Structures are given as C-alpha cells and as structure tokens.
Chains A and B, each alone.
Chain A
Amino acid sequence: MKNILIIFSLLALNLNSQSDSSKIKRAPTDTSKMLLNMDAVYNRPFLQYGKIPVALGGYMEANTNYAVTDGITEGLSFQMRRMTLFVSSSIHRKIKFLSEIEFEDGTKEINIEFAALDFQLHHLVNFRGGIIMNPIGGFNQNHDGPRWEFIDRPISATQLLPATFSNVGFGFYGKTYQPKYVWAYELYLTNGWNDRIIGNSQNKTYLPATKLDPERFEESFNGVPMTNAKTSLRFKGIGEIGLSYMGGVYNKFQDDGLTFDKKRRADVFAVDFNTSLRTKTNITAEFAWTFIDVPDTYTQQYGKKQHGGFIDIVQPLIKRPMFGFEKASFNIAMRAEYVDWNVGTFNETGGNIADDIFSIVPAISFRTSSQTVIRLNYRYQWQKDLLGNPASRTAAIQFGISSYF
C-alpha cells in the first residue's frame, strides 16, 4: 500500500518538476466502439505526459447532506465521499497494467480497488491477474462518481452486493465485435467471502461485511476460491444486457485439519441492463438475487435469500454550450430502488419477514461535460424492520459535485 502511494507521489512530482504543460496530453477516451460496462475501467480520461508509458487519472466526489429520519436530523454536513486515483501503463503492446486506489470519507478507508495486469493472447482470450474488480452486476464495474446523476450509490449495489468489491485472483476475459453486436465474457477465480456475512452489526445477512476482513488480500478465509463469471451482450440500437454470477464458500469449515461444519455457500446472480432511447433518455437497471446457506440452527434474523435492484432514468433536457462550457447539458433524473434483505417467512407464524427498504430519488444535474457533474438529489425512503412494523421514513436533500481530473 505504502509503496503504491510513493509511486503515485513520485509520478506527481515528476509531472510538476518538469511542468511543460504542452507535453501533458489527455489520452482520448474510446468513443468509436460499442462499449460495455466491463470497459469502464480503461475507458476513463487519463493524462499522459510526453512519451512515458504511464497515464494518470482519477476522480473526486464531495457533497452536502441533510437528512431527516422520522423527524430527527443530525443537521447539515459536508462530506468528502471519495477521491480515487488511477494509474495505467502499457508495459508492452499486449500487456497493460491498471490500478485504482480509493480514499473514502477522508482517509478513513483506503482501498486498492483494482490493480491488475492484463495479457492479451487473443481478443477472445485475455489473461488478467492481481486485484480484480469482481464483475457482478453492472454498477460494480462501472461505478465512477462522475458518470452518475446520483450522489449515493444504489443501495442494492452497496448494501446487498458489496460495492466496488474487489479481490485478489486470476482469470480470463474476451470480447468479440460484430457489426450488429458486441459480446464479451469474463471468468475469474478470486479470494472470496468470510463469515462476517452472517455475523455483523447490521443484524442481517450482509455480503458487504466481507470487506471488513483486513486479511482478505493476503489470504483466503477458508481456502476455497470464489468463482465469478459474467457475460455481456450489446446489440446496436438496443442496449447492453449482462448476466453475472459470483459464489463461493463463506464459512471456515475446517482449521488445522479439524472439520467444524459443512461447507456453506453464498451465491449471487445479477442481471444488468442499460440503453439509450431515441429521446436521448438513458436507462440503467440492475437486479440481484442472493442465496446464502445460513445454518437452520442459527437465527432467522439472518436471511437465506435476498434480492434487490435499482432503475435509473436520465433525461437530458438541454444539450448545448452553456456558461462557456462547450459540451454542457442539463438533465433530470429519477432513481427507484428496492432491497429485501430477508426474503422468506417466519417459522413461528408463516408471516412475511420484512427487513426491506424502498426509495425514490428525483434529481437534477448540470454537466459541464460528460466528465464533470453538479447534481442535486432529493431522496425519500421507507425502511421496515424484520417484523414489518411501520416503516421508518427518511428524506434527504443532497447537493454535490463530482469530476474526473
């Protein structure tokens, strides 16, 4: 971790000391091809200096937050959500390296989200190794703040699926371009879950709790790799659909040769979809289902099945030069999202187990370009406890900025 920070600062110094800005180039983002969510990691604005084979980039997000839950508010606060730095380099025509480091909530959390080497053997066979962003759903792969009109990440992508979930591992991916469509696959084996999934302060089955294990980049929790596969298809004029699967054993079934329990799995399936209509309306949607083998003798507090998703609709209203920005646009947007952390019925009564959340987020945004966004969100949210008692209601008003740099 430290080393990488040093490399970053050296590169930055290097840029400053020789600040000959004519040599700093913006590596163009690829707009020619039909792109998939999986391309998002490389399709970012990078800065390149002269002929050095290293490109730098990143993005930041900051916002104000004013939320009221059942009449109680903590007042107004300003949040530095995150700053993310990317470094990419072409080691060889067929070997690329990309890393992404994220600083969340100031420096409370520092994560390497991505740090992988890609070897191109054939366009259908690329080998990838390192810290890999697990391709589950679309958001996990394509999560950069400036791309979204919403300040909060979707609840289903942060509290059902682990957001920016990445793990050490290896695997293959490939793509084929046809005149009418592009098809891609990804297949990785990585380190996986741990038992915090069913032992966490959220009091619910919570896949993101896996991220709390500080040792997960060093060693697998139980020695069984997680399998992650995704296939995506984009049809010209129709849109992209992705089907993904991620699953593995989450418990420590044995230690030091002693067996404690059977192997218990947590499996996730997701569908993601995005399209652009003729009216320039962008629609992005994702839905995920999780299946967790929670022991029957544990508590129903921790669900065996969960599901949830979101749909975002973004409508550009004005797209023309504004306030001196050539490619400015003004947009309205709406997100609807839902998560049920415990799908099932109580053994005792046969009644529904609730533990769910529903929210709607109308938004307006002003983009100076596709890379920088100023956005205003309003959120209204209903959350029910396990027993399905009257929902606690939250409203939030948020104003924020996000930009690549």
Chain B
Amino acid sequence: MLFLMKRLFIYFTFLTILVISCKKLTPKLPEDHQILEGPIKGLTAAEQDQFLKGDIGFGAVFTPQNGLGPIFVANSCASCHAGDGKGHPFTTLTRFGQTDSTGNQFVQLGGPQLQNRAIPGYSPEIIPSGATSSKILPPANTGLGYLDAVSDQDLLLMSDPNDADADGISGVPNWVNVPAYCQFRANAISMNGKHMARFGKKGAAYDLIQQTANAYNQDMGINSTYESIDTYRKQPVEPEVSNTTLQNVVFYLKTLKAPVQRNANDADVIAGKQIFMSTGCDKCHRAELKTGSSPIKVLSNITFHPYTDLLLHDMGPALDDNYTEGSAKTSEWKTPALWGLGLSKKSQGGSYFLMHDGRAHSIDEAIQLHGGEALQIRLAYGNLSMTERDQLLKFLESL
C-alpha cells in the first residue's frame, strides 16, 4: 500500500508540474518583427472587427461548388499570398498579348491573363501563338494602406520624366483609365482623363478595390458586381462574391501592418543603410514617404519607410518582358517596396524568389540584375568593397 501511495504521489506531482508549466509548454506568440502578418496597432474595435472579417475573406477557399473557375489560377487569396508575404513560382501569374498602350490583341483568346488551371471537365487556357507573355510573382501585401494613402502630389514630386537632374533616373507614374467602381483619391491628379495608378508590378491598378476585384475575377474565376465578365464565358454573370466581402478584404489589405525592421541598431546595419543611400539605391527605393489624411485614423499623416517611390523605371533589356499595362513600357517596372525583404523566405518556402518573376535567388543576385536606369547604381554596387557589400546586404535583410 505504501508503495502504491508513493507511486501515486510521484504521478500526481508530475501532473501538477505539467499543469503549472502549461504556459511554458505552449508555443509563444511570434514577435511583431518576426512575421509579416497582423494588423496595424491602434485600430478601433469596429476596425478590428472588419479586419478579422477581411482576413476570413482573404483565406476563404473557393471550390467548384461555390464558384471557382471554371478556369482559374488559384483558389484563395491566401494560397498566393501566404502569410501576406511574397509568392512562389507555384503561384505565379502569366499575362500575355499586350506589348504597348494600344491594349490587348488577344482578348478573344483569353487575354490578358492566362488561366492555366481548370476545374474537372474544363480545359485551361493556353498562350495563343504569336502572343508574348510575362510571368509575375505575387508581391507581399504588407503595409498597403500606407502606400495607398500617399498623395498623388507626392508621387509626382518624385517623378522626373525627362531626367531634369541628369542622374540617369527618371521615374514616371503609370497613367491608366480608372474603372467606374473606383473612387478617386482626394486631390487626384489626372492627365488627358487618365489617373496615376500604383498597385501591381507594373503599377497599373489604381487602388486596392481594383486590385482585389481583378484578383477575384482573373485569378480565381470569382465574379463580382465590380468585375462581372466571366473569364470563361466572356460575358457578365451573377456575382459569386458579395461587395461586402470584397470591401472587407480591401479593408484587411489596407490595415495590414508595415513590416518591422530587425537589428536596426546593429553597427553593420547602420553602416549598410548609409551605403544604401550613398550608392543611390534610395533614388528609386525611397526610404521615407508620408501619407495624407485617411478615414482610417492610424493611417492619417504618418511618415513610414517602405523603400519605394511607387513609380515606373526602365530596368533595361534583360528585364524587358515584352508585356505591358497602362502607360508602362515593356521594360518598365514599379520600384518594389523593400520593407519585409528579410522575411520573404518565410512565405516563399525557405528560398528567395526575387524580382518580378522570381528569377533572383538571393538579394545580391537581385541587385546584379538591375540595368537600364539603375545601371550606374549597379556598377557602383559592384565597386563596393566586400565589407561594404556585406553591410549593405545585412541592412537589406534587416528590413
């Protein structure tokens, strides 16, 4: 009996320790700077509620039963934007048949976007012969609300279409026709009826509503009242996603936090930032922008650090993909934001896939691919000492 008591005592002690250590035995919340996901701090309760609803919409999986396709590329926003970070070659989009601003020559053959997958019983699209095509990898979705809230004036101030300062770098906005369902920003600037767009790799989507409505329609075959022409039937069909859901998803995108820098006080990181500025990377990857006023209070009049100018730059023949959108040339790309760069691998399955099509497998490789307007600056990068390069790369990884 004594023996039994002893044993039971041991087990119950064990049990107690187990219960007490519950907190120790459970995985901790990753810190803000370790992940890209999560809302901006300081949202009101109502805003948090809409953020959560949008998060659900963003993760919702479409199936053949609830509207997927019939032709599509992927079946949820989150499949392509895992952890709100950059995508993977598996989730790449292909677009074709548009070499200048005269528009798409292959609309009747499925242009501009290739829906390369189909629900059972249907055939996916193939690229028509004679069409040039381009592959684009999903960008991260972090901090989009800040980028959305920068005024047109500020963008225009950074642009230098005729290279007046003769530094070899021009930078132009993408002028597009804005669909009727978008609302213009306060003090929107227009030119010959066109407006300055800023989302997408070529900067051809005016705002997050256009980007989202197009993603539902073109990427998943989910039609809305905004974009109602079905990619397969090529005619308007009943909406498969409600405007409320779509607007919640837009709100979610707007209120995703900006990536938080790591090791900002490391001596190498500080030195690296100086090299980033002095080499001239900052001429396109602008370290600092500010928002105008926004109905979402936490986004109003804020200075933030995205490392982009949201403008188009000619990146030279190697990055010319013979495809364009809006007023962009085929060799022009929007400067991608560099915030969150060091965390990219965490959403890309452990490897880097950088530049518009993911062809660069390291940050160094991405820089080496810069040409065109960035040629001089790439050469300057090449002339850096090994230590300086390391410091620059350390800085980029800290973003």
Bound-state Cα–Cα, A351 to B61, Å: 24
A43 at the interface (CB under 8 A from B): no
Bound-state Cα–Cα, A385 to B14, Å: 35
A376 touches B75 (CB 8 A): no
- List residues of B (1-47) whose CB comes within 8 Å of A's CBs: 4, 7-8, 11, 14-15, 18-19, 22, 25-30
Smallest Cβ-Cβ distance to A251: which chain B residue? B120
Q: Which of B26, B60, B63, B350 contacts A395 (CB 8 A)?
A: B26
B378 at the interface (CB under 8 A from A): no
Q: Which of B26, B83, B349 contacts A388 (CB 8 A)?
A: B349
B327 at the interface (CB under 8 A from A): no
B15 touches A203 (CB 8 A): no
B residues less than 8 Å from A354 (CB atoms): 349
B residues less than 8 Å from A264 (CB atoms): 120
Given contacts A378-B25, A397-B22, contact A389 B119 (CB under 8 A): no
Smallest Cβ-Cβ distance to A204: which chain B residue? B61
Bound-state Cα–Cα, A380 to B65, Å: 35
Q: Which of B15, B83, B347 contacts A376 (CB 8 A)?
A: B15
Bound-state Cα–Cα, A294 to B19, Å: 45
How many residue-residue contacts, CB under 8 A, span A and B?
Answer: 119
Smallest Cβ-Cβ distance to B60: which chain A residue? A201
Bound-state Cα–Cα, A318 to B10, Å: 13
Prevailing SS type, chain B contact patch: loop
B25 touches A395 (CB 8 A): yes
Bound-state Cα–Cα, A196 to B88, Å: 26
Smallest Cβ-Cβ distance to A380: which chain B residue? B25
A residues less than 8 Å from B292 (CB atoms): none
Q: Nearest Cβ in chain B — how far from A325, in angstroms?
A: 13
A387 at the interface (CB under 8 A from B): yes
B79 at the interface (CB under 8 A from A): yes
Smallest Cβ-Cβ distance to B120: which chain A residue? A295
Smallest Cβ-Cβ distance to B345: which chain A residue? A389
A320 at the interface (CB under 8 A from B): yes
A243 at the interface (CB under 8 A from B): no
Task: Please count how many residues in chain B sit with their CB below 8 Å of the partner chain's CB atoms.
Answer: 46
Q: Nearest Cβ in chain B — how far from A394, in angstroms?
A: 7
B residues less than 8 Å from A66 (CB atoms): 22
Q: Nearest Cβ in chain A — how far from B262, in angstroms?
A: 15
A322 touches B4 (CB 8 A): yes
B322 at the interface (CB under 8 A from A): no
B161 at the interface (CB under 8 A from A): no
Q: Which of A196, A202, A386 has the most CB of B within 10 A?
A: A386
Q: Nearest Cβ in chain B — how far from A283, in angstroms?
A: 22
Q: Nearest Cβ in chain B — how far from A354, in angstroms?
A: 8
A residues less than 8 Å from B295 (CB atoms): none
Q: Which of B11, B79, B89, B121 contacts A203 (CB 8 A)?
A: B79
B120 touches A330 (CB 8 A): no
Q: Which of A199, A203, A320 contacts B64 (CB 8 A)?
A: A199
A74 at the interface (CB under 8 A from B): no
Bound-state Cα–Cα, A361 to B351, Å: 32
B15 touches A364 (CB 8 A): yes
B123 at the interface (CB under 8 A from A): yes
Interface string of B91-123 (1 = CB under 8 A from A): 010000000000000000000000001111111
Q: Nearest Cβ in chain B — how far from A356, in angstroms?
A: 13
Smallest Cβ-Cβ distance to A250: which chain B residue? B120
A residues less than 8 Å from B29 (CB atoms): 70-72
B residues less than 8 Å from A349 (CB atoms): 88-90
B residues less than 8 Å from A318 (CB atoms): 4, 7
B348 at the interface (CB under 8 A from A): yes
B185 at the interface (CB under 8 A from A): no
A201 touches B63 (CB 8 A): yes
A268 at the interface (CB under 8 A from B): no
A317 at the interface (CB under 8 A from B): yes
B residues less than 8 Å from A282 (CB atoms): none
B205 at the interface (CB under 8 A from A): no
Bound-state Cα–Cα, A349 to B8, Å: 56
Given contacts A71-B30, A346-B90, A349-B89, contact A397 B79 (CB under 8 A): no
Smallest Cβ-Cβ distance to A387: which chain B residue? B349
A residues less than 8 Å from B92 (CB atoms): 348
B74 at the interface (CB under 8 A from A): yes
A364 touches B117 (CB 8 A): no
- List residues of B (249-292) whose CB comes within 8 Å of A's CBs: none
Q: Which of B88, B89, B120, B346 has the most CB of A within 10 A?
A: B120
A89 at the interface (CB under 8 A from B): no
A299 at the interface (CB under 8 A from B): yes
Interface string of A292-322 (1 = CB under 8 A from B): 0001011111000000000000000110101
Bound-state Cα–Cα, A66 to B148, Å: 40
Bound-state Cα–Cα, A195 to B28, Å: 39
Bound-state Cα–Cα, A298 to B92, Å: 15
Q: Which of B28, B74, B117 has the most CB of A within 10 A?
A: B117
B27 touches A71 (CB 8 A): yes
Smallest Cβ-Cβ distance to B118: which chain A residue? A297
A71 touches B118 (CB 8 A): no
- List residues of A (254-282) whose CB comes within 8 Å of B's CBs: 260-261, 264
A residues less than 8 Å from B65 (CB atoms): 196, 199
B residues less than 8 Å from A301 (CB atoms): 74-75, 79
B168 at the interface (CB under 8 A from A): no
Interface string of B38-69 (1 = CB under 8 A from A): 00000000000000000000001101110010
Bound-state Cα–Cα, A37 to B381, Å: 69
A351 touches B349 (CB 8 A): yes
Interface string of B62-86 (1 = CB under 8 A from A): 0111001000101110010011000
Bound-state Cα–Cα, A386 to B87, Å: 12
A residues less than 8 Å from B26 (CB atoms): 68, 71, 73, 395
B124 at the interface (CB under 8 A from A): yes
Q: Nearest Cβ in chain A — how far from B4, in angstroms?
A: 7
Q: Nearest Cβ in chain A — how far from B343, in angstroms?
A: 10
Could you pull out 15 A-B pairs where Cβ atoms are within 8 angstroms?
A: A70-B30, A71-B30, A297-B122, A298-B117, A354-B349, A386-B90, A387-B82, A389-B83, A389-B347, A389-B350, A390-B346, A394-B27, A395-B25, A395-B26, A397-B19
A-B pairs with lowest CB-CB distance, top 5: A71-B29, A387-B349, A199-B63, A68-B26, A348-B89
Inter-chain pairs besides A73-B26, A199-B68, A201-B61, 4 sampled, C-beta below 8 Å: A195-B120, A297-B122, A348-B88, A348-B89
